[in-house]
Amino acid sequence: MPGSEQREFRAEVRKVLNILTNSLYTNREIFLRELISNASDALDKLRYRANRGETPRLPDTPLEIRITLNKDARTLTIADTGVGMTPEELADNLGTIAKSGSEEFLAGLSSQEGKDGEPADASNIIGRFGVGFYSVFMVAEKVEVTSRPAFADGDPAAWRWSSDGLGTFTVEECADAEPARGTVIVAHLKEDASEFLEPYRVQSVIRKHSAFVPFPVLVDGERVNTQPALWREPKSSIKPEDYNAFYKHLTYDSADPLDVLHISVDAPVQFNALLYIPATAQDFFGADRDFWGLDLYARRVLIQHRNKDVIPDWLAFLKGVVDTEDLPLNISRETLQENRVLMKISQTITKQMLSHLEKMAADRPDVYARFWKLHSKVFKLSYQDFAQRERVAALMRFNSSRLDDGDALTGLDDYMSRAPEGQKTFWYLSAPNREAARLSPHLERFRKKGIEVLFLYEPVDEFVMEGLGVYKEWNFKAVENAADDALDAFADKEDDAPAATPLSEDDSRTFDELMKRIKEILGDRVADVRVSHRLADSPAVLVSPDGGMTSSMEKLFRAMHKDDSIPVKTLELNRDHPLLRSLLRIFKADPQDKALAGMAELLFEGCLLREGYVKDPQALAGHANALMEQAAAWYTEVRKI
């Protein structure tokens, strides 16, 4: 360890400090929560290593956190008897932050900016990205951290880290200073932070934010926290407020959870678990990527924060605690993976959570709908869990053509109960939103037959459909892959407009010629031109070659491969549409008619547009204008104006 020269904070630490010291934040009191949580972590670490057979110095020292307030010196001091830090650790742990951590923290802070110039609230995100300690500089103008490691060889000296939080810090030896073991932090409070010199104020902050810390917390010698390990208490003795308070302690979420499941299991393994469904959305595909798992305890001793072996990834939205009697206290974190006890816990939690959700869906559909809105992105990944497929399929929810609005949801069982006799397929359609789905030409003949279609708005949904494969002997199919005769067994809805008069045999043959001509006009841009059996109201549609991917899947793959070319598809024409009937008449008069070519172009471009492929909007607008120019001229002639 180098001497006691001044050292610079790394750039990312300076940025975080600069913001915390200079910006006004509400909820500055949470600095106490952060210091207490670090002290508690240090005590947890000591207990964990002691259980594994290491002997700390002064083994009889109680595990506790002592806070003392000194009005004359204007200091708040917090001392713990935990693992402590070596001088190297002081410099590393309190002088650096993982770079990604500081970036995510700063990004998070700016998204929490107060409205209308109100001070921002940092309390939800501080402590999340390894920046908790620095929050002390919201209230302190100078901080000294003196530490003596618990597991060093021989008789280690104490070392002191100190800083005013501006740009530099020092680490120096002060061999005989307190503590005898662990860490003492002295915060010299700023002018405007005198409230934290008042015992009643500090006690109330601790009761609010640190009530469940599993070690005694004392203020000026008096014990403040008295909450037991909630998950070990009998359910009948726990009030909803207690559950909510523990949730907030665990997550720093300011909102109450949506729901809680408290379980106590004796076989095949003994464990207690407290599982919360947050009422707040999480971003597991972004900032919250690694921020999941349950806190794992063995006989009330914390083994690991956010253990990811006790729940499957599709339950990642759960927050909570698992405590088991069946793990040895001396288990090492490194050997937790593949541990049979954890595997059994995960299986039991999965089953109980599914039962809980099934009950919620049946008895409290409005709460279930909220759950779905918040957490379905993750929950849907359960389609890959082969063992649970039938149960998770029943819990899936989608919007559909039959529902009143884009927010309404249906399950597969309800869909089945509404389907006409003989239907054995869940029909679905992918689209960016309900408006786009309802305009899809592929939907037209389903509408005509009154057959409900599930609307899928997220890319993962199609994978879910393919992954589920079959549910209660029904299969899943995209409407655009429906065979020509797929709906023949179902009668048209009666209120439908009368069908167009069929083409005569002669005209049918001429229509085939017209299709050849259109193929000639469009050339390689279409694979083929043929008669459509799927359209009711639209003149034309582009379809993928039979059995191919759906267009949304295809788009996903093209995006993945950065391929922005336009796929070559088959153009299907609606023979009964007035536009095609007119084109047929023009064609009969003159197969080489110039206007016909222009209209065929525009018809094709309109189809591309609907599919979401527009590469050249200039050309499209040009063609539309040219045609309109002609139409307007004819119109004035016809109307004689």
* Options 35-43, 224-232, 313-321, 598-606: segment touching ligand ADP (CB under 6 A): 35-43
Cβ distance 536 to 443 under 8 Å?
no
CB of 130 to ligand ADP, least distance (A): 4
Instruction: Identify what 601 binds: Mg ion, ligand ADP, none; CB under 5 to 8 Å per kind.
Output: none
- Of the pair 38, 348, the CB lying nearest ligand ADP is at 38
Interaction between residue 143 and ligand ADP (CB under 6 A): no
Judged by CB under 5 A, the residue of 27, 38, 86, 162 near Mg ion is: 38
Query: Which amino acid type is present at position 179?
Result: P
Measured distance CA(378)–CA(21) in Å, rounded: 37
Measured distance CA(350)–CA(310) in Å, rounded: 9
Cβ distance 179 to 68 under 8 Å?
no
Instruction: Identify what 39 binds: ligand ADP, Mg ion, none; CB under 5 to 8 Å per kind.
Output: ligand ADP
Name the strands in the sheet holding 259-265, side by side, starting at the edge strand that comes first in the sequence.
Answer: 259-265, 271-277, 319-324, 294-298, 301-307
- Of the pair 38, 440, the CB lying nearest Mg ion is at 38
16: burial class by Cβ within 10 Å (0-12, 13-18, 19+)? buried
CB of 241 to Mg ion, least distance (A): 26
- Of the pair 94, 514, the CB lying nearest ligand ADP is at 94
- Rounded to whole angstroms, the maximal C-alpha distance in the chain is 109
196: burial class by Cβ within 10 Å (0-12, 13-18, 19+)? buried
- Of the pair 82, 539, the CB lying nearest ligand ADP is at 82
**217 strand-pairing partners:** 65
- The 3-state DSSP class for residue 94 equals coil
Which token pair is 147? 């530490």
Interaction between residue 131 and ligand ADP (CB under 6 A): yes
| Cβ neighbours around 287 below 10 Å, total | 18
Gyration radius (Cα) of the chain, Å: 34
- The 3-state DSSP class for residue 254 equals coil
- Of the pair 93, 570, the CB lying nearest ligand ADP is at 93
- Of the pair 36, 514, the CB lying nearest ligand ADP is at 36
* Options 38-46, 221-229, 448-456, 623-631: segment touching ligand ADP (CB under 6 A): 38-46
* Options 129-137, 207-215, 255-263, 566-574: segment touching Mg ion (CB under 5 A): 129-137
* Options 81-89, 117-125, 358-366, 415-423: segment touching ligand ADP (CB under 6 A): 81-89
* Options 124-132, 152-160, 265-273, 575-583: segment touching Mg ion (CB under 5 A): 124-132
209: burial class by Cβ within 10 Å (0-12, 13-18, 19+)? buried
Judged by CB under 6 A, the residue of 56, 87, 132, 165 near ligand ADP is: 132
Interaction between residue 80 and ligand ADP (CB under 6 A): yes
Which token pair is 302? 């914390």
CB of 133 to Mg ion, least distance (A): 6
- Of the pair 84, 567, the CB lying nearest ligand ADP is at 84
Interaction between residue 40 and Mg ion (CB under 5 A): no
Measured distance CA(475)–CA(413) in Å, rounded: 13
Cβ distance 571 to 522 under 8 Å?
yes
Mark 555-594 with x for binding to ligand ADP (rule: CB under 6 A) and - for no binding: ----------------------------------------
Identify residues 180-199 at the interface with ligand ADP (CB under 6 A): 183
Interaction between residue 38 and ligand ADP (CB under 6 A): yes
Which token pair is 89? 């650790």
Cβ distance 480 to 543 under 8 Å?
yes
Cβ distance 573 to 531 under 8 Å?
yes
- Nearest position to ligand ADP, beta carbon: 132
DSSP 567-579: PPEEEEE-TTSHH
Judged by CB under 5 A, the residue of 132, 182, 312, 567 near Mg ion is: 132
Judged by CB under 6 A, the residue of 25, 31, 105, 133 near ligand ADP is: 133
Interaction between residue 478 and ligand ADP (CB under 6 A): no
Q: How far is CA 505 from CA 172, 454, 509, 512, 544, in A?
A: 100, 38, 6, 11, 29
CA 2 to chain centre: 45
Query: Which long-range contacts (C-beta less than 8 Å, at least 24 apart) are formed by 434-443?
Result: 434/399, 434/405, 434/406, 437/401, 438/401, 439/610, 440/479, 440/610, 441/534, 441/535, 441/537, 441/538, 441/540, 441/541, 441/610, 442/479, 442/480, 442/482, 442/534, 442/541, 443/401, 443/479
Q: How far is CA 284 from CA 289, 349, 376, 381, 460, in A?
A: 4, 20, 11, 12, 14
Instruction: Identify what 93 binds: Mg ion, ligand ADP, none; CB under 5 to 8 Å per kind.
Output: ligand ADP
Number of residues forming the site for ligand ADP (CB under 6 A): 16
Which token pair is 49? 């290593």
- Of the pair 39, 298, the CB lying nearest ligand ADP is at 39
Judged by CB under 6 A, the residue of 39, 140, 275, 541 near ligand ADP is: 39
* Options 78-86, 212-220, 284-292, 555-563: segment touching ligand ADP (CB under 6 A): 78-86
* Options 127-135, 290-298, 331-339, 344-352: segment touching Mg ion (CB under 5 A): 127-135
Interaction between residue 42 and ligand ADP (CB under 6 A): yes
* Options 37-45, 235-243, 528-536, 544-552: segment touching ligand ADP (CB under 6 A): 37-45
- Of the pair 101, 365, the CB lying nearest ligand ADP is at 101
Interaction between residue 34 and ligand ADP (CB under 6 A): yes
* Options 32-40, 234-242, 404-412, 528-536: segment touching ligand ADP (CB under 6 A): 32-40
- Of the pair 84, 441, the CB lying nearest ligand ADP is at 84
- Write out the residues near Mg ion by the rule CB under 5 A: 38, 132
- Write out the residues near ligand ADP by the rule CB under 6 A: 34, 38-39, 42, 80, 82-85, 93-94, 130-133, 183
